[in-house]
Structure 1
Amino acid sequence: MLNYLIVFLCSMVPLVELRGAIPIAHKISLDDPSFNIYLAYLIIAIGNMIPVPFIFFFARKVLEWGKDKPIIGGFFTFCLEKGEKGGQKLTAKAGRGLFLALLLFVGIPLPGTGAWTGTLAASILDMDFKSSVFAVILGVALAGIIVTVASLLGVSILT
């Protein structure tokens, strides 16, 4: 049970997310034959998606609130400006294909391109909540497939 909790919590951590939790689950499954890797995939996907609504509805508000505060203001302003500039570039390049662009952004497992960042970008771009969440879900599924295949082929971020 503890191993499932570990991969669940790892999948919720920014930057680690599903991309780190799947290789951890594969490592656990090598050491514990009773560990059900398929159940772990489901738990990891759920854990990766739990923060999404909170990020969508509150992250931008928190950044806006903190942009003029001492100590955190500079960083919060940087995050907002970076998100808005990135969003404008993405919108200009993607045009009506913003849904697909968000899906691919979340789905290509590179550092800083997961559900957390994708959802924040969707929020800053004022995308529709339902289509944003659907794009992120599909992106998480795509990333999960890519990371699983890479893990099965022996490519790992773990030593």
Structure 2
Amino acid sequence: MLTAAVPIIELRGAIPVGISLGLSPVHAALISLIGSMIPVPFILFTIRRVFNYLKKTKAFRSLVDKLTHRSLSKSKNIQKYGVLGLLVFVAIPLPGTGVWSGSLAAALLDMRFKWAFPAIFIGNVIAALLVMMLSSEVVKIFS
């Protein structure tokens, strides 16, 4: 669960870890799904205030600008397609996509929580199913 809450690794890395530790693919996916959703409300509600505070400091201004620019440049389809774009962005299990990036993009694009959270959740469920099926097949091949 904690592995899934870590940025970059997220659910995509936590499911294979859970399976390799002996969990069934379904249990690994469920636990990873719960863990990966833990940071979402915190990101959606607080990241803009945190970024605004950090922008006032010399040490973090460039980092915040870089993260903001990178997130907004990746979120063109989210801007274009709205909630559906966010759902697909989170659902695609590739590097640079996922819950953390999707939550950050939704917060920076001022998406309302009542639309962003369900889109992120459904996208994360889709990603969990894809990664679970892929991980299960890899385990079968090497067993």
TM-score, normalised with respect to structure 1: 0.80
Deviation at 1:41, TM superposition (A): 2.4
Q: How does 1:59-138 map to 2 (within 5 A)?
A: 59-87=47-75, 89-90=76-77, 94=80, 97-138=81-122
Change (3 A) 1:147 1:85: closer
Deviation at 1:83, TM superposition (A): 3.1
Q: Which moved more, 1:51-60 or 1:70-79?
A: 70-79
- The yes-or-no answer on 1:9 pairing with 2:2 is yes
Instruction: Answer yes or no: is the 8 Å Cα contact 2:106–2:116 preserved in 1.
Output: yes
Unaligned segments of structure 2, at least 5 residues: none
Deviation at 1:112, TM superposition (A): 1.7
**Percent of residue pairs bearing the same amino acid type:** 40
Deviation at 1:71, TM superposition (A): 1.6
Deviation at 1:84, TM superposition (A): 3.8
Question: 1:72 is paired with a residue of what secondary structure?
Answer: helix
Deviation at 1:100, TM superposition (A): 1.1
Number of positions where the alignment pairs a residue of Structure 1 with one of Structure 2: 139
- The yes-or-no answer on 1:24 pairing with 2:17 is yes
Unaligned segments of structure 1, at least 5 residues: 1-7, 30-34
* Structure 1 CA distance for aligned equivalents of residues 50 and 93 of structure 2: 27
* Structure 1 CA distance for aligned equivalents of residues 27 and 73 of structure 2: 39
TM-score, normalised with respect to structure 2: 0.88
- The yes-or-no answer on 1:150 pairing with 2:134 is yes
1:60-101 deviation digits (Å, cap 9, x = unpaired) = 2111211131221111122223334444x3355x2xx31111
Instruction: Answer yes or no: is the 8 Å Cα contact 1:63–1:79 preserved in 2.
Output: no
Greater CA radius of gyration, 1 or 2? 1
**Amino acid of the residue matched to residue 151 of structure 1?**
S
1:10-62 deviation digits (Å, cap 9, x = unpaired) = 01000111000000011111xxxxx4543332221111101000000111211
